[in-house]
Amino acid sequence: MPTEQKPLHSGFGRKSTAEEVLGKTDLHGRVVLITGGYAGIGLETARVLRKGGATVIIGARDLEKAHRNLSEMKDIEMMKLDLTDPKSIDEFSEKFLAKHPTLHFLINNGAVMQTPLLRDGRGNELQFSTNHLGHFQLTARLWGALKNARGARVVCVSSFGHRYGRVDLEDPNFLNRPYDKMQAYGQSKTANALFAVELDQHGKAHGIRAFSLHPGAIIETDLARHLTDEELAPWGVTRENGVRKAPDKDFFKTIPQGASTTVWCTVSPLLDGKGGVYCADCDISPLVPDEDSTTHEGVRSWAIDPSVAKKLWDLTEKLTHLEWPS
């Protein structure tokens, strides 16, 4: 039976931090891979899971930045990974598997947001390529290691930004429609959630469960670097001495709060035996009406529709030129 898309009343909330969620969870002997885990909420996720005793590996597009940001955590391993480059993904996976034949937690965290129209080497729109296609290929390459865990979780960092766009299955790469960077971002975040839905169907027979999540609105990360001050102004964001400030503390989260739902999806025993659901604020999110385009809470049906998830899966196999391993 599919997991219900309704809150579990976890005891945590939007103000909970990643450390609070981890609590006394013992992760010794567990292997965690985090894409983009060298900045923002990915970095905080890495720090907290490492504190719990996990072996943490970071897939990093910018290794120099990764070494700089993780300089005080000498035991975290960093490896080059460009999610827009199929060769880089394959090389990363080969090196990873040579050292770590078992993977307990895969956190698909790396992302770009509202970029100008850019394309990867195969012509795919950059946000769709980075946020969805790259993670699809990476997860496929590491499938055997996830199966070896006999109880793995795959955590896909989506966003309430999924409300900005469904996946256009006919033209996901904006080849025949005008490019809109917000719509493209929304499409990629919807794809993250749909990937978790279908991935959970493929994985649960092997003990692999998948989740997607909205981390919250966090202004302090690099993710918003492509947004202008004018685009952020409606959210109440201002700039003081060159630094962006978010005055609405009820809406925006700190980085430790932003990493909390990722950690919750990774370690919470409340999610044992469950999967394929979209989460936020350290709980399963409620379903909200599709026509409600203003609320930042909940998930729209198009991001968790099993039939659309299957169609996206089939399309993604074609776009990535791979067949999912058994």
Task: Choose the weakest-confidence range: 123-137, 235-249, 273-287.
Answer: 235-249
- What pLDDT does residue 236 have? 56
Tokens encoding 176:
């025949």
Task: Choose the weakest-confidence range: 87-101, 148-162, 225-239, 289-303.
Answer: 225-239
Q: CB–CB of 119/126 below 8 Å?
A: yes
- What pLDDT does residue 242 have? 57
Single out the residue of 254, 221, 193, 210 nearest to residue 14, CA to CA: 254
If you average pLDDT over residues 242-270, what whole number do you get? 84
The CATH number covering residue 308 comes to: 3.40.50.720
Residue 65 resides in a domain: yes
Residue 229 resides in a domain: no
- What pLDDT does residue 252 have? 84
Residue 323 resides in a domain: no
Angle (CA) 219-223-226 rounded to 5° is: 100
Is pTM beyond 0.85? Reply is yes
Residue 138 resides in a domain: yes
Residue 270 vs residue 226, higher pLDDT: 270
Residue 131 resides in a domain: yes
Percent of the chain exceeding pLDDT 70 equals 90
Q: How far is 46 from 136, CA to CA, in rounded Å?
A: 21
If you average pLDDT over residues 262-271, what whole number do you get? 98
Q: How far is 20 from 39, CA to CA, in rounded Å?
A: 20
Per-residue pLDDT band for 156 (boundaries 50, 70, 90) equals very high
Residue 111 resides in a domain: yes
Per-residue pLDDT band for 2 (boundaries 50, 70, 90) equals confident
Residue 119 resides in a domain: yes
Tell me the pLDDT tens digit for each residue of 171-185. 999 999 999 999 999
* Parent domain of 73: 18-218+253-316
Single out the residue of 217, 216, 215, 220 nearest to residue 245, CA to CA: 220
- pLDDT exceeds cutoff 70 at 223: no
- What pLDDT does residue 238 have? 58
> Coil, strand, or helix at residue 227?
coil
If you average pLDDT over residues 288-313, what whole number do you get? 90
Structural domain total, the chain: 1
- What pLDDT does residue 251 have? 75
- What pLDDT does residue 59 have? 98
- Active-site positions read 185
- pLDDT exceeds cutoff 80 at 82: yes
Tokens encoding 44:
């905080």
- pLDDT exceeds cutoff 70 at 247: no
- pLDDT exceeds cutoff 80 at 298: yes
Per-residue pLDDT band for 297 (boundaries 50, 70, 90) equals confident
Task: Choose the weakest-confidence range: 67-76, 120-129, 221-230.
Answer: 221-230
Q: CB–CB of 123/306 below 8 Å?
A: no
Residue 244 resides in a domain: no
**Which residues lie below 8 Å from residue 195, measured CB to CB, with a gap of 6+?**
132, 135, 136, 156, 210, 212, 309, 312, 313, 316
CB atoms closer than 10 angstroms to residue 84: 20
Q: What single DSSP character describes residue 212?
A: E
- pLDDT exceeds cutoff 60 at 24: yes
- What pLDDT does residue 296 have? 76
